[in-house]
Amino acid sequence: MTPTITAFEQSPDRGRGLARDMRVRWALEEAGQPYAVRLVSFSEMKKPAHLALHPFGQIPTYEEGGLALFESGAIVFHIAERHPGLLPDAANGRARAITWMFAALNTVEPPILDRGIAMILEHDKPWFEARLPVLDERVRVRLGELSRRLGAADWLDDAFSAGDLLMVTVLRRLSGSTLLDEYPNLVGYVARGEARPAYQRAFADQLAVFTAGDASRGRNG
Ligand code: GTB
């Protein structure tokens, strides 16, 4: 059965692939799994039909037969468990790859998210100038630790896994700042992820949504 995911009808990232449907699209492409996309507006996300799928009224969601999932990490894990290519077969390697999935979402993403939210919602507050260096430093701490662990390796634990997929999407959220540039091996790591054919297909598909929306907005307005 072809799964259906949800994505922004009009993503605020303007097609830069920073919204969290990108990681689900990428996982599905790595798995060679065809999928359908239902686009939702901000107001639709808060209506009962979508809230029945996602208690917090967000994207992405994932529907497959009688199964409905939310949370991008859980969705990527579901895909990775059911298709080859995203988790190693050997039990210990699999456990380590899953550990990196959690590390990406629970340890590396929060400071990056805090900084991103402050940049959008707090930049006009009187204390923003004093707070930004604190937020930057928290991000630097995590990037430094991650950079040391990655070293000269291509991926976090041997072969590419769902842990790398999530970590690359998390690090991409720093695009627009120069923080990542301070860690050349992480820049290379993100570039390796972005160079994967599955990533490129996923990126092109989400960009096409933005481009089509932009064209129709241009026609209508
Ligand atoms: N923990 C959840 C998950 O991983 O699935 C978080 C889901 C989430 O935050 N979804 C966001 C959403 O639906 C979209 S991705 N927001 C609408 C709402 O909460 O009402 C977050 C996002 C939004 C915009 C950008 N951007 O513009 O760059 C990047 C990421």
What is the structure's pLDDT at 220? 53
In terms of domains, do 186 and 137 share one? yes
Residue closest via CA to ligand 1's atom 21 equals: 19
Number of domains in the chain: 2
99 and 137 assigned to the same domain = yes
Instruction: Indicate yes or no: pTM above 0.85.
Output: yes
Mutate-to-test residue for ligand 1 from 20, 54, 120, highest number of ligand atoms within 8 A of CB: 20
Sequence-separated (6 or more) residues with CB below 8 Å from residue 7: 19, 21, 25, 37, 38, 39, 40, 59, 60, 206, 209
Q: Note the Cα 93 to chain centre separation in Å.
A: 22
Radius of gyration of the chain (CA): 18
The answer on 142 and 207 residing in a single domain is no
Domain match, 192 and 98 both: yes
pLDDT of residue 219: 58
pLDDT of residue 221: 46
**In terms of domains, do 125 and 71 share one?**
no
87 pocket-lining for ligand 1 (C-beta < 6 Å): no
Residue 129's CATH number: 1.20.1050.10
Tell me the CATH number at 53: 3.40.30.10
Tell whether 79 and 111 lie within a shared domain. Answer: no
pLDDT tens, position by position, 118-138: 999 999 999 999 999 999 999
How many A from CA of 89 to the centre of ligand 1?
31
Ligand 1 atom with the smallest distance to the CA of 58 is 13
Question: Both 109 and 70 in a single domain?
Answer: no
Residue 119 pLDDT: 93
Residues 44 and 20 in one domain: yes
Looking at the fold, whether 181 and 202 belong to one and the same domain comes out as: no
Predicted local confidence at residue 213, as pLDDT? 86
Taking the CA of residue 16 as reference, the ligand 1 atom at the shortest distance is: 28
50 Cβ below 6 A of ligand 1: no
70 and 128 co-located in one domain: no
Could you tell me if 1 and 64 are in contact, meaning their C-beta atoms sit under 8 angstroms apart? yes
Q: What is the pLDDT of residue 101?
A: 98
Residues 49 and 137 in one domain: no
Are 56 and 100 members of one domain?
Answer: no
**Alpha carbon of 20 to ligand 1 centroid (Å):** 6
- Containing domain of residue 142, as a range? 91-196
Pull the structure tokens for residue 47: 């209506």
| Cβ of residue 20 lying under 6 Å from some atom of ligand 1 | yes
User: Looking at residue 214, what is its pLDDT?
Assistant: 81
Residues in the chain predicted with pLDDT less than 70, given as ranges, are 219-221
* Per-residue pLDDT, 77: 98
Ligand 1 neighbourhood includes 58 CB (under 6 angstroms)? yes
* C-alpha–C-alpha distance, residues 178 and 90, integer Å: 38
177 contact partners, CB below 8 Å, separation of at least 6: 115
